[in-house]
A and B are shown apart, each in its own frame.
Chain A
């Protein structure tokens, strides 16, 4: 079978559009794929930390970076508010896990301090580019460095703005945008208990 250039172009176009649409909706309205989630290893301030180290506790995972001036603090403050409203016994069973994707500037100590500023029970992690890419791809999200030569900030990092709810057995059970209604986020948190 011979492919005319037109067919190739049409095929490429179709592939491109489908991928774009899939990517767009995939990120916007994420349905949990059977393979989404899983264990990863990153660096904490005391050394290597894996998701499985938190077995027995529910984990609320969030990807961000410490230089993030607006979105991350708002999301983390929101999470703090919701965890505060849980009975003390219940909130002890949940670990907010803040993973910085900014391997250029963030250190494990800095990320951990940042996370604990919002919630004492939180743990902050980061890692090498490869480790971060692995974790991010497991959860079907991404990030992108963007140079901002006109701004004193130097660069920013685009990142997803979602919470991932991982049950005490390490299984990803749901994910929601951080801007979801409080009732939805609360029931996702309660599902981990």
Chain B
């Protein structure tokens, strides 16, 4: 019994120390009810000031959890934004937070909700991966490691 407890404690602490997605979404040992998956950051030309990050937030818990903030060392500011299509024009608006209701998932995707990376710093353009630190309403912060890629249709 003690053995099992120690083992799971060890797994949990190892996983939470790991950067990136924390653990496999399917892992039953994962005590975290928030899973971050299927993400990327858009590759942009070196003259660009901004880029965007996308991923899916899955909340398998019983309480709604809200993404409050995102941070990266490779951008001057990181904000939560949304695109809206109004009167035939595309409009971008900042949103204060992104709520993920219990048992649901929210997709951050092109033309919708996204993480805006503003004022990209030089190392961004040669980076293959971007680490974002995300702060949630449950008081926990989680990191997500996203590949930088060019989109293909």
Which A residues form the contact surface with B (CB < 8 A)? 23-24, 27-28, 66-67, 69-71, 73-74, 77-78, 80-82, 110, 113-114, 117, 142-144, 146, 148, 150-153, 156, 158-161, 179, 182
A73-B52, A77-B151, A156-B91 known, 13 other contacts, Cβ within 8 Å = A28-B88, A69-B52, A69-B81, A73-B110, A74-B110, A74-B111, A80-B152, A113-B45, A114-B47, A117-B45, A144-B89, A152-B79, A152-B118
Q: Nearest-CB distance from B92 to chain A (Å)?
A: 5
Whether B153 and A73, one on each chain, are in contact in the complex, defined by CB atoms closer than 8 angstroms, is no
**CA distance in complex: A110, B48 (Å):** 8
Residues of B within 8 A of A77 (CB): 150-153
Contacts of B152 in A (CB 8 A): 77, 80-81
Residues of B within 8 A of A110 (CB): 47
Give the docked Cα–Cα distance between A80 and B28 (Å): 42
**In the complex, are the beta carbons of B92 and A69 less than 8 A apart?**
yes
- The interface bits of chain B over 63-98 (1 if a CB of A lies within 8 angstroms of the residue's CB, else 0) are 000000000000011010101010111111010000
Q: Given A70-B83, A70-B114, A158-B89, verify A152-B47 contact (CB < 8 Å).
A: no
Q: How far is the CA of A78 from the CA of B45 in the complex (A)?
A: 17
Can you list 18 A-B pairs, Cβ within 8 angstroms, ordered by A? A24-B88, A66-B48, A69-B51, A69-B116, A70-B110, A71-B90, A71-B111, A73-B44, A82-B153, A110-B47, A114-B47, A117-B44, A142-B89, A144-B89, A152-B77, A152-B119, A153-B77, A160-B88
